[in-house]
Amino acid sequence: MSKAYKLYSNTEILQRIGKALKDRRKFKGITQEELSFQTGYDRGTIVRLESSGKVSLVVLIEVSRYLDILDGVVDAIVGEELPLEGIKEMNRIFKKNK
């Protein structure tokens, strides 16, 4: 079922993402301080992520990795996993074209 997120403002979407991450953190019994320590980001960044969602994609990736939801986050955007050899080849091509 589509939630028609295209009808939501960017701010509303970011807030929903932040709340979902906060709910996942709490479900796993992890404090903001522990998440901060494990990801290497200060607690203020974690608070900002959970309240407004306004953080970099790198922060989202690291927090998702620690909360064990990274595969779902990436799959939702990318669609399907790229085989490791494909990733290595893309890296070689990218480096060669720099």
Domain limits, the chain: 8-97
Residue 80 pLDDT: 66
Give per-residue pLDDT as tens, 20-64: 999 999 999 999 999 999 999 999 999 999 999 999 999 999 999
Residue 85 pLDDT: 67
Cβ-based neighbour number of residue 33 at 10 Å: 10
First to last CA, the chain: 42
Give per-residue pLDDT as tens, 57-97: 999 999 999 999 998 998 888 876 656 666 677 677 767 66
Question: Which CATH code, of 1.10.260.40, 1.10.287.130, 3.40.50.10860, 3.40.640.10, is assigned to 8-97?
Answer: 1.10.260.40
Residue 10 pLDDT: 94
Cα–Cα distance measured from residue 14 to residue 50, given in angstroms and rounded to the nearest whole number? 9
The percent helix, strand, coil of the chain (3-state, each to 5) is: 70, 0, 30
> Is the pLDDT reported for residue 1 higher than 50?
no
- Full-model pTM: 0.75
Cα–Cα distance measured from residue 25 to residue 5, given in angstroms and rounded to the nearest whole number? 23
